Amino acid sequence: MKYFYFFLIILLISPFIAFAQQKDRTRLSDTLKNYSAYKRKLSFAGVLQTRYVLALDKNIDINGKNFDPDASKAVTNSFLVKRARIMVKGDINDHFSANILANLAEFSSDPTNKVLENAYIKYTLNQYFHIQAGQFRPFFGIEDIMAVDIIRTLDFSNQYYAFGKNGWQSFQTGLSVLGNVIPGGKLRYFAGVYNGNNKNQPSDDNNTKNLYGRLEADFLKDFTIGVNAGTGSLAASGVGQAYGADATVKIPLSKKIDLLLMAEYKKGANFLAYNADKQTLRPALSEYQMQGFYLFPTLRYNHQSRRLRAMEFSCRYEYFDENNKLASNPRQTLIPNMSLIFADDFYAALQIGVAIDRFKNQVPLTTTYNRNLGYVQLQIRF
């Protein structure tokens, strides 16, 4: 008899249980009428990068400038805080978000036009279409695609900073769209329009906007090729062009050892050199060209112990010429580096290396001078 009552109770309450489960299962998809705060959240992140640098050559300071020992008291070694970045991301709902990135280390010097880096609003429709407006890094090469808070060696390449100063990359203000061309992300596109006069400016410095486009494709597993093209201007320079290509590949050599290879080539107009030339009859803008390439091999040993996650040994080689047609003086840079990674994804890493710079023609009492800079660098992401 007791089993009869037990089954009777189950039969009586089962419709209510089923109704409750059905109501809960369809609550979001069928009954949600207001998406204002759907998936709303606020997240914080950051990176702190400190380093000790030592000039390894006589009469060379930590900035690579040759000096006269009788006339200057130059600094040849120093502790530095290179980056102290705070990142804030606010997801308004499942489509809208706001992103802010500030580098507080810039307050250690003149902070004018420096501190604020990312400041943009992003709208995500689906995997094929994202649009962002504000201040961001145009996707114009490998170093723009990688996370801004992951530095695998001493710093970004020389070409990255030169192209950034000329408005081709680094932090710029404008509008960009990006997304997958085909499902799964094997082919991706990036395109945009922006001022091209660098970050934290009150407005553009002319009426011409910079345009850029990039296609990125995964041909094989862990093998990616990208191509870039752009057009733009800076101040009264007139319109110039830039383009480039890059490749990345990851090759597993054993269960714990991987070889990472990155290579990039870029060529583009040097607006700064053109605007600085005060000749009455100066050459056309097309003659003021900068170009360069680098190869960045990294051998990674995945130690995977509780405290030491990995070790990386790398040696980036770069060839860069800031004015290769009119005043060619190529700079070659070699940076052997060892990284001890104490937390996955570079959340804690100690790096030791030497930056070796060689110029075809040295200019005394300037930074265009052969030098070797030793460094020990500690970076923490959070």
In the structure, what pLDDT confidence band is assigned to residue 176 with cuts at 50, 70 and 90? very high
CB 264 within 8 A of CB 244: yes
CB 96 within 8 A of CB 121: yes
In the structure, what pLDDT confidence band is assigned to residue 188 with cuts at 50, 70 and 90? very high
In the structure, what pLDDT confidence band is assigned to residue 146 with cuts at 50, 70 and 90? confident
pLDDT of 10 over the 90 cut: no
> Quick one: pLDDT at residue 11?
44
Closest listed residue to residue 336, CA positions, set 368, 286, 372, 293? 372
CA pair distance 292, 81, nearest whole angstrom: 29
What is the residue whose two structure tokens read 């906007």? 209
In the structure, what pLDDT confidence band is assigned to residue 110 with cuts at 50, 70 and 90? confident
What is the residue whose two structure tokens read 């380093």? 51
Task: Kindly report, residue by residue over 26-64, the tens digit of the pLDDT.
Answer: 445 557 889 999 999 999 999 999 999 999 999 999 999
Domains of the chain, with CATH numbers?
A: 39-381 (2.40.160.10)
**Percent of the chain whose pLDDT exceeds 90:** 82
Which residues lie across from 211 on neighbouring strands? 193, 231
Which of 70-74, 87-91, 245-249, 359-363 has the lowest average pLDDT? 70-74
CB 42 within 8 A of CB 93: no
CA pair distance 268, 207, nearest whole angstrom: 20
Q: Whole-prediction pTM value?
A: 0.88
Mean pLDDT over each residue of the chain, to the nearest integer: 91
DSSP letter for each residue of 14-61: HHHHHHHHHHHHTHHHHH----TTTT-EEEEEEEEEEEEEEE-STTB-
Task: Kindly report, residue by residue over 193-206, the tens digit of the pLDDT.
Answer: 999 999 999 999 99
In the structure, what pLDDT confidence band is assigned to residue 17 with cuts at 50, 70 and 90? very low
